[in-house]
């Protein structure tokens, strides 16, 4: 008789967004006349930019001709894409990364979930709290998180780094030394980030302690402040302690197209083995690559036309972020984020829990957001709104919130 992976049984409740979906669905059914505005899920709404669509069309046509047909992609991804990534995301910022350190993938969610396969089962994992749930759940599935405490909302073997108002949402070095540190900057869900000097301190800390940083840069395109690093490799010594994960989802609207990449520098040696070597082995065994058509689309992200169009798209969302940020401030809320990220993180009013505020906003303003508690215990008392809606809907939502 089959025995299953017991670790799956430890996973609490249902996934955050399915709970939200059920609540919104029930409300919509009871109130069919109400027009609900969704500023909850972190999915984009703007269509794919013209320059990228054009490249995709061309690649589709190539697939229909024997001379230009492409089958399995090379293990690490096509060179045309990896070279474009190196040129624009690294060389242009003075980072020393080579094309054979780039592993093209179908996105940062799967990379951030899969990367833990490289670590021993007893590795100590440090996460920010609140946190993108994938880092935690993937380690739970692997049996690395210990047991879940319903009362505290915490896993016994994880090291939590609270990011709250009191520390400006900046993680502090943990009391116990971790083996792996997940950092997502600019951050989902808090929408905040740290200056490059502070990131350098994390790189130094990791090198000093023999720890690995998994650096999730999914929101890099939204950085507006000058003193914020666009890549962890802008910091000295990052090549010996950091893996960087990037995604085309948020900067180019590829959430339904699927493309990302991981940077695994060759200097990353732990336990006498190269992580680059291990990841190459894993990639080659378990993955057959992002589609040719999509990698051509990714290449177009870096073309002059693609870059110009995407700059506008990011600006469109950041105008929404400003509408939300300023609208909430005017309405008397305590608000964070929204400057280097498409997320606005607010303090729930009075003594409201984040789920109480969710219900309040849904019922009184017909606006859907995300309760902070869904991202970890330190998210309690906070609430996330996203700038990924349309400008019109965002304005309408804020007008409703201001009228409460």
Ligand X SMILES: *Cc1c(COP(=O)(O)O)cnc(C)c1O
Q: Residue 184 or 212: which CB sits closer to ligand X?
A: 184
Cα distances from 98 to residues 94, 201, 280, 309, in angstroms, run 12, 24, 15, 27
Q: What's the token pair of residue 73?
A: 């992609």
Query: Could you tell me the smallest distance in angstroms from the CB atom of residue 42 to ligand X?
Result: 5
Q: How far is the CB of 148 from ligand X (least distance, A)?
A: 21
Q: Are the C-beta atoms of 60 and 398 separated by less than 8 Å?
A: no
Q: How far is the CB of 358 from ligand X (least distance, A)?
A: 19
Q: What's the min distance (Å) between Cβ of 15 and ligand X?
A: 14
Cβ-contact 253, 51 below 8 angstroms: no
Nearer to ligand X, 140 or 218 (CB): 218
Least distance from C-beta 155 to ligand X, angstroms? 19
Per DSSP, the residues of 24-72 read HHHHHHH-TT---EE--S----SPPPHHHHHHHHHHHHHHTSTTT---S
Q: What are 103's strand-pairing partners?
A: 262
Q: For ligand X, which is the closer residue by CB, 15 or 69?
A: 15
Closer by beta carbon to ligand X, 27 or else 287: 287
Residue nearest to ligand X (CB): 107
In the bound complex, what is the minimum distance in angstroms from residue 172's beta carbon to ligand X?
20
Question: In this complex, which beta carbon is closest to ligand X, that of residue 250 or of residue 296?
Answer: 250
Question: What's the CA gap between 280 and 101, in Å, rounded?
Answer: 9
Kindly state the tokens that stand for 303.
């073309």
Q: Residues in the site for ligand X, rule: CB under 6 A?
A: 42, 107-109, 112, 132, 184, 188, 216, 218, 247, 249-250, 255, 260
Q: How far is it, in rounded angstroms, from Cα 103 to Cα 116?
A: 16
Query: Whose Cβ is closer to ligand X: residue 42's or residue 130's?
Result: 42
Going 273 to 282 to 43 to 8, the CA torsion angle's sign is negative
């Amino acid at each position: 008789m089959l025995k299953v992976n017991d670790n799956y049984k430890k996973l609490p409740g249902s996934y955050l967004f399915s709970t939200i979906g059920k609540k919104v669905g029930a409300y919509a059914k009871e109130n069919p006349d109400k027009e609900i505005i969704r500023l909850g899920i972190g999915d984009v709404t703007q269509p794919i930019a013209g320059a990228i669509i054009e490249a995709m069309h061309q690649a589709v046509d190539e697939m229909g001709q024997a001379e230009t047909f492409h089958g399995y992609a090379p293990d690490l991804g096509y060179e045309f894409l990896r070279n474009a990534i190196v040129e624009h995301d690294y060389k242009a910022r003075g980072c020393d990364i080579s094309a054979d350190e780039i592993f093209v993938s179908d996105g940062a969610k799967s990379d951030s979930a899969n990367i833990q396969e490289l670590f021993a089962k007893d590795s100590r994992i440090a996460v920010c709290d609140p946190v993108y749930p994938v880092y935690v759940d993937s380690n739970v599935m692997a049996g690395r998180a210990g047991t879940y405490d319903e009362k505290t909302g915490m896993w016994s073997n994880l090291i939590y780094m609270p990011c709250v108002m009191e520390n400006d949402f900046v993680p502090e070095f943990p009391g116990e030394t971790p083996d792996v540190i997940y950092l997502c900057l600019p951050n989902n869900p808090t929408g905040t980030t740290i200056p490059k000097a502070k990131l350098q301190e994390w790189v130094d800390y990791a090198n000093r302690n023999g720890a690995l940083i998994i650096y999730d840069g999914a929101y890099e395109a939204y950085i507006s402040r000058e003193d914020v690093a666009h890549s962890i490799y802008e910091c000295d010594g990052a090549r010996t302690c950091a893996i960087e994960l990037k995604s085309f989802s948020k900067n180019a609207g590829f959430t339904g197209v699927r493309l990302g990449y991981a940077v695994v520098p060759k200097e990353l040696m732990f336990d006498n083995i190269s992580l680059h070597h291990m990841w190459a082995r894993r990639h080659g065994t378990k993955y057959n690559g992002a589609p040719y058509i999509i990698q051509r689309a990714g290449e177009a992200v870096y073309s002059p036309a693609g870059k110009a169009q995407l700059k506008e798209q990011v600006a469109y969302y950041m105008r929404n972020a400003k509408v939300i940020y300023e609208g909430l401030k005017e309405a008397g809320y305590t608000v964070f984020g929204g400057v280097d990220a498409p997320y606005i993180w607010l303090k729930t009013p009075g003594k409201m829990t984040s789920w109480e505020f969710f219900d309040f906003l849904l019922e009184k303003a017909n606006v859907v957001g995300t309760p902070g508690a869904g991202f970890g215990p330190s998210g309690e008392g906070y609430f996330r709104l996203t700038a990924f809606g349309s400008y019109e809907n965002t304005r309408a939502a804020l007008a409703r919130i201001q009228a409460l």
